[in-house]
Amino acid sequence: MTNTAAIIGGGVIGGGWAARFLLNGWDVRVFDPDPEAERKIGEVLANARRSLPGLGDVALPPEGSLTFHAEMTEAVAGVNWVQESVPERLDLKQKVYGALMDCVDEAAVIGSSTSGFKPSELQAGLARPGQVVVAHPFNPVYLLPVIELVTTPANDQAIADKAMGMLRSVGLEPVHVKKEIDAHVADRLLEAVWREALWMVKDEIATTEEIDNIMRYGFGLRWAQMGLFETYRVAGGEAGMKHFMAQFGPALKWPWTKLMDVPEFTDELVDLIAGQSDAQSGHKTIRELERERDDNLVGIMRALKWNGNAAGALISKGDQERLPASGIETNAAAIADPSQPVLTIKRAVPLDWIDYNGHMTESRYLDCFAMATDRLMEIVGCTQDYIATGGSYFTAETHLRHLDEAKAGAPIEVRTRVINGQGKKMHLWHEMTSDGVLLATAEAMLIHVSLETRRASVPSDEIAANLDMIEKAQADLPSPEGLGKAIGVR
């Protein structure tokens, strides 16, 4: 059964929520009286469809349906989740929640995107305050995984658990803040940096661009993988956090901060900051800046995925959870029909696979086919555990044909045939398609090798039997066009 989310307020954040739910297979209903809401959400969705599907290495579920509604009662009827993202006015939010109590299902979770109001303020006077939680996201909602889930004593543990489960189902990572505070956790940290930065610009210590450079070329890169406290633990050297705190603790009493003092937002200060900001990036449109941001976020998070750190670890976890639904099998016995080419890759083309011509670069075809080979190896039993015992397959020869192009976000599948799996050989044929169009083929000859002697050897009986089963099952398939042109098989 498909889950359904209602989005109340379709601005930047509401549109990001719509994209997050929609691209993870939920049906989405939007209520926003703004006549431009459909256009605005459409532009957010275009960016999300370009970036989110390629973040991981396994395809997202089929996209849900998106509808727009003129009445809030129609939008929220029977939904599992309601996400309120109206402007930051407490009276407006309370009005929305009062209306929701009359029309939303009692089993639904109602989340607020508020960055500052406490959940108790939103719950005040409601017939069912326990339904309302703060679910504060970060822009862009469709890429950044963290969510501050803030609850009060009015919310029992069951609603918190339910909310966290649904958020995780769409690739988000909730941090449950159990003690409410104005602006929650993240914005209080950001506010501290913002206040200091305002003073530095006002006092002509640094420009907006210089402050941004210090962050993006310096500690911002450390924070992306380690956060604040782990960064300082490393800074303490072998002695760790205690040494760091002993060394830098006295600095807390020095006059290094103006956190409790805020520069007045005079016209002069606003013009100064706005002018510097325009000089820094005013030559680019907001859409161009958003796409650059998305490109960089995908690249950073995919780099973190390679080492299993931070947001990268969440992407790997999501890939593994989506594998069963993607149709990719993990062992030979589970293959539904071994007489047909085996599905080994099902994913979208990520942003970091695109070259200067705007399509998938040639090296990534080899990369993708190599992943398909690795998947086939795992399916027949050449897993990491098997490799640890001293045997593996080495690629001896590969031939690629590039037949068509694929652009960022395009869905791609690779299906693999076992041409010959006898003895020490594993001869494979891969075909890559996108929406039924053949993009490329790859023919690969691999040899089983003893990792101890680095010489050819026979594989285990299990691997040999699995390869033999697939080869024989596929033997009646017509010979692929192009087979043997470069590998040297007659």
| Boundary of a domain, candidates 283, 309, 341 | 283
Tens-place pLDDT, residues 128-173? 999 999 999 999 999 999 999 999 999 999 999 999 999 999 999 9
Bridge-based pairing state of the strands 437-450 and 132-136: unpaired
Residue with tokens 């691209």: 23
384 class by beta-carbon count within 10 Å (0-12 exposed, 13-18 middle, 19+ buried): exposed
Q: Are 332 and 381 in contact (CB under 8 A)?
A: yes
Q: What is the pTM of this model?
A: 0.89
Q: pLDDT band at residue 205, thresholds of 50, 70 and 90? A: very high
Average the pLDDT over 380-397 and give the result: 97
Assigned domain for 114 exists: yes
- φ/ψ region of 237 (left if φ > 0, alpha if ψ in -120 to 50, else beta) reads left
Is the pLDDT at 109 greater than 60? The verdict is yes
Same domain, 46 and 9: yes
For 435, the token pair is: 């929406």
- Number of domains observed in the structure of the chain: 3
Assigned domain for 316 exists: no
Confidence (pLDDT) at 256: 80
Same domain, 467 and 341: yes
Is the pLDDT at 328 greater than 60? The verdict is yes
Same domain, 400 and 423: yes
113 class by beta-carbon count within 10 Å (0-12 exposed, 13-18 middle, 19+ buried): buried
Confidence (pLDDT) at 198: 94
Is the pLDDT at 200 greater than 90? The verdict is yes
Highest mean pLDDT among 165-179, 258-272, 290-304: 165-179
d(CA 180, CA 475): 65
Assigned domain for 89 exists: yes
Same domain, 144 and 244: no
Q: pLDDT band at residue 489, thresholds of 50, 70 and 90? A: low
Confidence (pLDDT) at 486: 67
* CATH number of the CATH domain containing 239: 1.10.1040.10
Assigned domain for 490 exists: no
Same domain, 468 and 350: yes
Q: Are 130 and 156 in contact (CB under 8 A)?
A: yes
Q: pLDDT band at residue 243, thresholds of 50, 70 and 90? A: confident
Confidence (pLDDT) at 330: 86
Same domain, 434 and 366: yes
Same domain, 234 and 377: no
Type of residue found at 153? P
Bridge-based pairing state of the strands 411-420 and 391-402: unpaired
Assigned domain for 80 exists: yes
Average the pLDDT over 304-325 and give the result: 91
Assigned domain for 240 exists: yes
84 class by beta-carbon count within 10 Å (0-12 exposed, 13-18 middle, 19+ buried): buried
- CA-based radius of gyration for the chain: 27
C-alpha dist (Å) from residue 182 to 234, 280, 340: 31, 32, 59
d(CA 306, CA 366): 18
d(CA 214, CA 377): 46
Same domain, 85 and 51: yes
Same domain, 394 and 246: no
φ/ψ of 175, rounded to 5, equals -105, 115
| Boundary of a domain, candidates 149, 168, 184 | 184
* CATH number of the CATH domain containing 120: 3.40.50.720
Same domain, 119 and 258: no
For 250, the 3-state DSSP assignment is: helix
Instruction: Characterize 337-360 residue by residue with b for buried, 16 or more Cβ atoms within 10 angstroms of its Cβ, and e for exposed.
Output: ebeebbbbbbbbbbbbbbeeeebb
Tens-place pLDDT, residues 56-103? 999 999 999 999 999 999 999 999 999 999 999 999 999 999 999 999
Assigned domain for 196 exists: yes
Tens-place pLDDT, residues 418-477? 999 999 999 999 999 999 999 999 999 999 999 999 999 999 999 999 999 999 999 999
d(CA 439, CA 412): 9
Confidence (pLDDT) at 490: 60
Assigned domain for 395 exists: yes
Instruction: Characterize 299-310 residue by residue with b for buried, 16 or more Cβ atoms within 10 angstroms of its Cβ, and e for exposed.
Output: ebbbebbeeeeb
Q: pLDDT band at residue 211, thresholds of 50, 70 and 90? A: very high
* CATH number of the CATH domain containing 363: 3.10.129.10
Same domain, 266 and 164: no
Same domain, 20 and 111: yes
| Boundary of a domain, candidates 229, 252, 283 | 283
Is the previous residue joined to 35 through a cis bond, with omega within 30 degrees of 0?
no
Confidence (pLDDT) at 239: 85
Confidence (pLDDT) at 259: 77
d(CA 373, CA 414): 10
For 136, half-sphere exposure in the C-beta direction (CA atoms, 13 angstrom radius) is 24
Parent domain of 206: 190-283
Report the DSSP beta bridge partners of residue 8. 31, 84
φ/ψ of 205, rounded to 5, equals -80, -40
Average the pLDDT over 22-46 and give the result: 96
